[in-house]
Structure 1
Amino acid sequence: MSVIYDLEHITTYSYRNPVTFGKHRAVFLPSATHRERILSYLVETNVPCKIRWIMDTLSNNVAELEFSEPAKELIVTCRLRAEHFGLKAIAEFPLDPRALEIPVQYTPDEWSDLSVFMRPHAEDPDSSVATWAKYFVAGDQDHTLDVLQRMMDTIKNTLSYQSRETEGTQSPGETLRLKSGTCRDYAWLMIESLRRLGLACRFVSGYLYDGALDGGEVGMIGSGATHAWLQVYLPGAGWRNYDPTNQITTGFDLIPVAIARHPSQVMPLSGFWFGETQDYLGMNVKVLIRKLANLPEFESKSVAL
């Protein structure tokens, strides 16, 4: 089964006086994969600009925006129509024996490819993150899937979700100390903790689709908005989703857009401007995701050539 959806992502920056804009980067367009098919896309701005598409070092699609006029308001609208294929249960992708227990045994080739996703990025001066991570493998609690599930459940059940308008991501240690955070903070805490257990993890930026919103109901945390979670590389199963904010690992809800070693690499929209500091009045983000249709699932077959 697949879902066709429309996405509209509108970001508005407001200023007291006209300011000049430097280069901006928009990351909203998923890469075409076996789980995502792009049908149409568009980037529009209220200020004249030149748009150039590039692919970054991790093969993410990035739109570079260069503006030619100053303004008191900058509106960047990204529109997308795509077909999204859900992720099946991990039971359908059995782990290799070397991945059943922590530490997972990666092959030399996997080490070469995954090393940047295995090395911790955030500092841990008081070892609070490392200590917290080791709690999940204490005693004989080392079965990989159990460890992942317990860590995800613990983040969801013991931390308080707090939306935050300011950009950026808390350090994992700060999230543990505050016992609260956003989806980005939750994902970053789990990534850096699992890296300290020897697992390859990457940060995922994207969107959370929730069917409840189509009926006007209250949806999941972060639904109908930009969202963040993580993927863990498990030999035999490949990159698998873990969303500690909503305890999601499968299904159609998570729509990945970009992957990164750390959160700052894949901000949905980033850039700089020139003017007086007091001229900045704020930012508003509006995301609309609407399902258009469900398509029947077809059976894929391998053919020897």
Structure 2
Amino acid sequence: MTVIYDLEHITTYRYANPVTFGEHRAIFLPSGGYVGRILSYSLETNIPSKVRWIMDTLSNNVAFIEFSEPAKELIFTCRVRGEHFGIPAIADFPLDARAKEVPVQYTPDEWLDLSTFMRPHAEDPDGSVAAWAKSFVIGDQDVTLDVLERMMDKIWNTLTYQARETEGTQSPGETLRLKSGTCRDYAWLMIEALRRLGFACRFVSGYLYDSALDGGEVGMTGSGATHAWLQVYLPGAGWRAYDPTNRITAGYDLIRVAIARHPAQVIPLTGSWFGDAKDYLGMDVKVSIRKLGTLPEFEQI
């Protein structure tokens, strides 16, 4: 089944007086591949701007926006219509024998390609992240898929989701200490823990489609907003999705926008402005995802 969807992502910055703007960098546009296809897209601003698109080092779609006029309000509106093919269950991709137990054995070519995603990025001064990671492979509990499921379940069962307006991502150690965090914090903790067990992992930024939204309800944590999860490379299965915020590993809910070694590489929107610091009044983000139908149904609309 293929899901056809419309996505709208609106970010609004407000100021007390007109300010000028430096270049902004936006990562809004979903990536294609076997999980989906973009049918149409647009990126608009409320004041005159010049937009140029590039593909970065990890093949993410990145827009750079330049402005020539001051304003009291800056609005970015990204609209996308796409096809989402969904993420098959891992049972459909048998693991190679060398991937069935921890540590996973990567070939020399795989290790060379994946080394940047295997090396821990965050510091662990007290060893708490390493100790937490090792707790999942104590004794003979080293079956790869079981380790991944137990770690994801542990985050989901023992941490409290806590949305916050401040930018950035907590360190994995801080998330363990606070026992709470956002989807970005959950994903980053699991990535850094798995890297300490020898897994190649990457951070994923995107959107969470929740069918409950079609009925005016919210069923999953983080739906109707930007979302974050991770992918783990498993020989035989390739890059596999793990969303510890909602315990998702397959299905149609995760719409990938960008991948990264660490969260700071894929902040959805960054930029600068020039004026009195007291002029900044705040920002609002609104994300809506609407399912138009499955492909056979959509062809009849």
What is the TM-score when the length of structure 2 is the normalising length? 0.97
How far residue 296 of structure 1 moved from its aligned partner, in angstroms, is: 4.9
Runs of 4+ with >4 A deviation: none
How far residue 278 of structure 1 moved from its aligned partner, in angstroms, is: 1.6
1:99-248 alignment, distance < 5 Å: 99-248=99-248
1:248 aligned counterpart, secondary structure? coil
Asked whether 1:12 is paired with 2:38, we answer no
Q: Is the 8 A contact 2:98 2:104 kept in 1?
A: yes
Greater CA drift, 286-295 or 28-37: 28-37
1:87 alignment counterpart:
87
1:187 aligned counterpart, secondary structure? helix
Unaligned segments of structure 2, at least 5 residues = none
Aligned equivalents of 1:53 and 1:203: distance in 2? 22
Aligned residues: 297
Q: Is the 8 A contact 2:36 2:86 kept in 1?
A: no
Unaligned segments of structure 1, at least 5 residues = 298-305
Aligned equivalents of 1:191 and 1:32: distance in 2? 23
1:273 alignment counterpart:
273
Greater CA drift, 218-227 or 74-83: 218-227
How far residue 279 of structure 1 moved from its aligned partner, in angstroms, is: 1.5
2:23 aligned counterpart, secondary structure? strand
Aligned identity (percent) is: 80
How far residue 218 of structure 1 moved from its aligned partner, in angstroms, is: 2.7
Asked whether 1:72 is paired with 2:64, we answer no
1:303 alignment counterpart:
none
1:95 aligned counterpart, secondary structure? coil
Aligned equivalents of 1:293 and 1:65: distance in 2? 33
1:109 aligned counterpart, secondary structure? helix
Kindly provide the amino acid, as one letter, of the partner of residue 153 in structure 1: D
How far residue 217 of structure 1 moved from its aligned partner, in angstroms, is: 2.3
Q: CA RMSD in A?
A: 1.0
What is the TM-score when the length of structure 1 is the normalising length? 0.96
Aligned equivalents of 1:20 and 1:115: distance in 2? 42
Aligned equivalents of 2:222 and 2:83: distance in 1? 21
Kindly provide the amino acid, as one letter, of the partner of residue 197 in structure 1: L
Q: Is the 8 A contact 2:26 2:63 kept in 1?
A: yes
Aligned equivalents of 2:17 and 2:119: distance in 1? 44
Aligned equivalents of 1:47 and 1:127: distance in 2? 49
Aligned equivalents of 2:182 and 2:232: distance in 1? 20
Q: Which digits, 9 at most, give the CA deviation of each residue in 1:86-138, with x for residues without a partner?
A: 11110110000000001000000001100010000001111110011000011
Aligned equivalents of 1:218 and 1:34: distance in 2? 28
How far residue 31 of structure 1 moved from its aligned partner, in angstroms, is: 2.2
